[in-house]
Structure 1
Amino acid sequence: MPDRRDPFEEIEELFEQLNSGFAEMSAEFDAGGAGDIHVDVADAGDEIVVTADVPGFDSEEIDVSVSDRQLRIAAEHSTETETEDEETQYYRRERSRRSISRTLSLPTDVDEHAAAASYENGVLTVELPKADGDDGIDIEVN
C-alpha cells in the first residue's frame, strides 16, 4: 500500500510558511522600509536633539508634533504636471504623491514652549529641552 500524505501535516506546513513570510515582512518594516524616516536621537545634556533625514521635501511640507512623549514627523509632497500640444491635440497630466512618517518615543519629558525645529539640506533637526521636574507635559509643535 503506497504512503499517503497526511493532509493536516500539509496544512500545518503551509501555516508555518505563511508565518515565516509574515515575520520576514515585519522585520523589513521594522528595519526601515520604504516611506520611513531615519532618525538619530541624542541626549545633549539639557535637551533631546532629534535629527531626521527628510530629503526631497520643502519645509512647508513637513509636520512635526509632540504629545505624551511621542514625537511625530510626517512629510507629504505632491506634484502635478500638465502638457498640452495644440498640433496633435494631445493632453497629458502626470501626478505623483509621496508621503513618509515616523513616530518615536522620547526618553524623557520635554518643555513644549521651548521646542524648536529647523530644516536644511534635507535634514530636520528638532530640539526639545528637557522639562523641569518629574511631571509630564503634553507638547504639540506645529
Structure 2
Amino acid sequence: MSMERNPFKNLEEQFEQIQRQFEEAIRMWNGEQFEMPRITSMSEMRMGIDLADRGDEFVLTADVPGFEKDDIELRLADDTLHIVATREEEKEHEERDELYLKTERARRSMQRSIDLPEPVDEDAAEATCKNGVLTITLPKTEPGELDGETIEVKT
C-alpha cells in the first residue's frame, strides 16, 4: 500500500486561505461595504505619466492601456493639461449566442490633470497614441508671446 502524501499540502491550504482573505480585503477596500463606487482596477485610480522638459518644449507621456485615439480627450486650460480617456461598453455580447460567465470589459475611464510649470503654445501642441502610450508635445511659449492685457501703471 502506497501512501502518497503531498508534503506541501498544509502550506498550499494556508496560501489559498491568505488569497481568499486578500481578495475579501480588496472587495472591502473597493467600497462595497461602505456604498462607495467600485474601482475595478488600479488604472482607474491613477494614470501614470512622465513629464520631460526638453528646453523649448515639454513632452508628456501617459499610459492609457486599452484606449484608442478616439477614446481620448485632451484639453489645455490655464497652463493645466486635462486628459480624459473613456471606453464605452462593447456591444459584441448582444450579437453572439455565447453565455458569458463573467464580463469585466465594460465601460472604463481614466483622467488626469497636470499643471505645467511654464506656459505652452496650445496651437502648436501635438499628440499621438500608439500601443496604449499617449505622447503629447507641448512647445513652450516665449514670455513676449503671452496673451493678455497690459496694465497701465499710474502715479
**TM-score for the superposition, normalised by structure 2:** 0.58
Please state whether the residue corresponding to 1:49 is helix, strand or coil: strand
Of the structure 1 ranges 95-104 and 128-137, higher mean CA displacement relative to structure 2 is found in 128-137
* Counterpart residue number, 1:100: 110
Query: How many correspondences in the alignment?
Result: 100
Q: In the alignment, is residue 56 of structure 1 matched against residue 66 of structure 2?
A: yes
**Aligned-residue offset at 1:135:** 6.4
**Aligned-residue offset at 1:104:** 1.0
Moved over 3 A (4+): 134-138
Q: Which is bigger in relative contact order (C-alpha 8 A, separation at least 6)?
A: 1
Q: Write out aligned runs for 1:26-45 (5 A).
A: 33-35=42-44, 36-45=46-55
Paired residues of 1:115 and 1:128 also in contact (CA < 8 A)? yes
Unpaired runs of at least 5, structure 1: 1-32
CA distance, structure 1, for counterparts of residue 64 and residue 141 of structure 2 = 27
* Counterpart residue number, 2:132: 122
* Counterpart residue number, 1:24: none
Identity of aligned residues (%): 42
**TM-score for the superposition, normalised by structure 1:** 0.62
CA distance, structure 2, for counterparts of residue 102 and residue 67 of structure 1 = 13
**Aligned-residue offset at 1:63:** 0.6
Identify, as 1 or 2, the structure richer in helix: 2
The two structures, once aligned, show a CA RMSD in angstroms of 2.5
CA distance change for structure 1 residues 108 and 130 in 2, over 3 Å: closer, same or farther?
same
Unpaired runs of at least 5, structure 2: 1-41, 149-155
- Pick one of 53, 57, 60 that aligns with 1:47: 57
Identify, as 1 or 2, the structure richer in strand: 1
